[in-house]
């Protein structure tokens, strides 16, 4: 062990490595390539991972959409193909019966699914936009952001059926001048005046909707459009620590009971579980990470074996040198230590260069993809413990693989080594 920290030991190793440049370079390329692939792959898969996460960040990752369609089976005296409409009362039942619902936002809409949107007029400007009847819960589930000066629909808006609205960014652009503050201004929706209380920033996420949508209180909506207790769909956020798939199943079962639908009817209640999609996508990303780990480690392994191979050849080449050293008093331990240290040193040096190259490539890819917001690839990083792990792996493998040529070097008798011409 004393030898390990002895300057002279390292001078001997540097000497031997320096004086055999080609051998050194060839030896290093294998490991360098291995660690380079390892770093690049795991960094890229992390980037993909981050990219997926970013793509899902606009919406609570365990949110569920539930809507009603027509039945596919006859049940309880009803024929099949009966149209089901969700009701506002369903929300209370669901909240009571299904565990794990964090928020439930009943929504109703005019302007999508083929219905007519609202005619919006402001002064001389006008347009047609989708109008949503909303509860305050919506903003807690979706991650549409309300700009600082404004607010979303609140409880008293619902209670007093206020004529207030939240408009989209695009609506603002189309109805207002650039330097105009829309908050507090009035617009006409289907010939009724609404006061604007907020502007929402639309973030591309799951589901539908765009940056022109206008949100008004649910209660106001049903009065204007005469929709009674109808709900277009529920948007539900499940508790973070709960299985979203199970919650979705329970919700469907409950709704089927309420609306007298055959429990086996798969069509009547439609649903879309973002959590499930999110989980599947993340599983895919984890799979990629794992794959890159396996491939990377295998490549490192191949590189280290390459080092062992070349050292083995070099030991054969250096038989005579080793014989001379032993005749001059090098003990087997010293010979062994030198060969193993050469192996470990070359491995680590090559590894560090590989890490640096890999980091360069990753930052290059990052610089190239940083503006591509549609491409699910963000901030490719390699966790430090991956790097430390890779280095540790290289030291261990370098030592192990060095043992083979070292043993060979020691097994040659000095007398035979000297006789070799």
Name the token pair of 170.
């695009």
Minimum separation from the CB atom of position 11 to another protein (A)? 8
Minimum separation from the CB atom of position 327 to another protein (A)? 5
Minimum separation from the CB atom of position 394 to another protein (A)? 26
Minimum separation from the CB atom of position 25 to another protein (A)? 16
Among 10, 20, 78, 140, binds another protein (CB under 8 A): 20
Whichever of 4 and 396 has its CB closer to another protein, that residue is: 4
Q: What are phi and psi of 206, to 5 degrees?
A: -75, 165
Whichever of 15 and 287 has its CB closer to another protein, that residue is: 15
421 binds another protein (CB under 8 A): yes
Site size toward another protein (CB under 8 A) is 28
Whichever of 219 and 337 has its CB closer to another protein, that residue is: 337
Tokens 């502007």 map to which residue?
A: 199
21 binds another protein (CB under 8 A): no
Q: Given the rule CB under 8 A, which of 10-18, 189-197, 282-290, 349-357 is the region that contacts another protein?
A: 10-18
Q: % helix / strand / coil in the chain, to the nearest 5?
A: 55, 20, 30
320-349 residues near another protein, rule: CB under 8 A: 320-321, 323-334
Task: Return the number of other C-beta atoms located less than 10 Å from residue 272's C-beta.
Answer: 15
Among 1, 8, 148, 178, binds another protein (CB under 8 A): 8
Whichever of 11 and 57 has its CB closer to another protein, that residue is: 11
93 binds another protein (CB under 8 A): no
Name the token pair of 88.
């506002």
Whichever of 243 and 321 has its CB closer to another protein, that residue is: 321
121 bridge partner residues: 126, 188
Q: Given the rule CB under 8 A, which of 12-20, 109-117, 181-189, 200-208 is the region that contacts another protein?
A: 12-20
Do 231 and 108 form a contact (C-beta atoms < 8 A)?
yes
Whichever of 131 and 341 has its CB closer to another protein, that residue is: 341
Name the token pair of 97.
């019966």
In this structure, the strands spanning 230-231 and 86-87 are antiparallel
Among 4, 14, 15, 364, binds another protein (CB under 8 A): 15
319 binds another protein (CB under 8 A): no
Task: Return the number of other C-beta atoms located less than 10 Å from residue 96's C-beta.
Answer: 10
Judged on CB neighbours under 10 Å (0-12, 13-18, 19+), 94 is: buried
Convert 400-409 to b/e letters by CB count within 10 Å (16 or more is b): ebbebbbebb
Minimum separation from the CB atom of position 347 to another protein (A)? 22
CA 28 vs CA 72, 238, 314, 409: distances in Å = 67, 53, 14, 21
Whichever of 117 and 323 has its CB closer to another protein, that residue is: 323
Minimum separation from the CB atom of position 329 to another protein (A)? 2
Among 1, 19, 114, 226, binds another protein (CB under 8 A): 19
Minimum separation from the CB atom of position 16 to another protein (A)? 8
Q: Given the rule CB under 8 A, which of 215-223, 285-293, 295-303, 413-421 is the region that contacts another protein?
A: 413-421
Minimum separation from the CB atom of position 26 to another protein (A)? 17
Convert 104-123 to b/e letters by CB count within 10 Å (16 or more is b): bbbbbbbbeeeeebbebbbe
Minimum separation from the CB atom of position 309 to another protein (A)? 22
CA 129 vs CA 114, 115, 148, 153, 189: distances in Å = 13, 11, 23, 18, 10
CA 191 vs CA 126, 186, 188, 267: distances in Å = 11, 12, 5, 38
Minimum separation from the CB atom of position 339 to another protein (A)? 15
Of 165, 67, 60, 154, give the one whose Cα is nearest residue 103. Answer: 60
Name the token pair of 69.
């369609």
Binding site for another protein (CB under 8 A): 7-8, 11-12, 15-16, 19-20, 320-321, 323-334, 410, 413-415, 418, 421
């Amino acid at each position: 062990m004393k030898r390990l920290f002895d300057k002279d030991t390292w001078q001997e190793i540097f000497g031997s490595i320096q004086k055999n440049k080609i051998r050194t370079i060839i030896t290093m390329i294998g490991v360098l390539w291995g660690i380079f692939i390892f770093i690049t792959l795991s960094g890229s898969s992390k980037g993909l991972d981050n990219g997926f996460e970013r793509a899902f960040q606009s919406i609570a990752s365990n949110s569920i959409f539930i809507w009603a369609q027509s039945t596919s089976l006859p049940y309880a005296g009803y024929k099949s193909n009966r149209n089901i409409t969700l009701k506002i009362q369903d929300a209370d039942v669901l909240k009571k019966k299904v565990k794990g619902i964090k928020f439930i936002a009943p929504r109703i809409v005019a302007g999508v699914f083929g219905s007519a949107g609202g005619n919006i007029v402001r002064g001389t400007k006008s347009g047609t936009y989708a109008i949503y009847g909303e509860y305050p819960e919506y903003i807690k589930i979706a991650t549409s952001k309300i700009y600082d000066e404004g607010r979303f629909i609140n409880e008293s808006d619902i209670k007093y059926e206020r004529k207030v609205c939240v408009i989209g960014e695009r609506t603002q652009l189309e109805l207002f001048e650039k330097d105009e503050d829309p908050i507090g201004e009035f617009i006409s929706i289907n010939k009724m005046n609404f006061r604007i209380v907020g502007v929402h920033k639309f973030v591309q996420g799951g589901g539908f909707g765009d940056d022109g949508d206008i949100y008004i209180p649910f209660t106001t909506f049903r009065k204007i459009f005469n929709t009674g207790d109808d709900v277009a769909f529920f948007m539900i956020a499940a508790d973070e620590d709960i299985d979203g798939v199970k919650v979705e199943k329970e919700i469907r079962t409950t709704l089927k009971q309420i609306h007298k639908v055959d429990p086996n009817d798969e069509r009547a209640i439609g649903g879309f579980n973002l959590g499930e999609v999110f989980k599947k996508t993340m599983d895919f990303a984890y799979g990629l990470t794992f794959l890159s780990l396996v491939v990377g480690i295998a490549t490192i392994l191949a590189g280290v074996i390459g080092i062992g191979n070349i050292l083995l050849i070099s030991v054969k080449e250096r038989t005579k040198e080793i014989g001379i050293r032993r005749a001059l008093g090098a003990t087997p331990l010293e010979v062994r230590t030198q060969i193993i240290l050469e192996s470990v040193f070359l491995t680590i040096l090559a590894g560090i260069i590989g890490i640096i190259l890999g980091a360069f490539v990753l930052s290059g890819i990052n610089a190239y993809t940083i503006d591509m917001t549609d491409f699910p690839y963000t901030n490719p990083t390699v966790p430090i413990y991956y790097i430390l792990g890779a280095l540790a792996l290289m030291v261990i493998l370098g030592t192990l693989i060095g043992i083979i040529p070292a043993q060979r070097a020691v097994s040659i008798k000095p007398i035979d080594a000297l006789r070799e011409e």
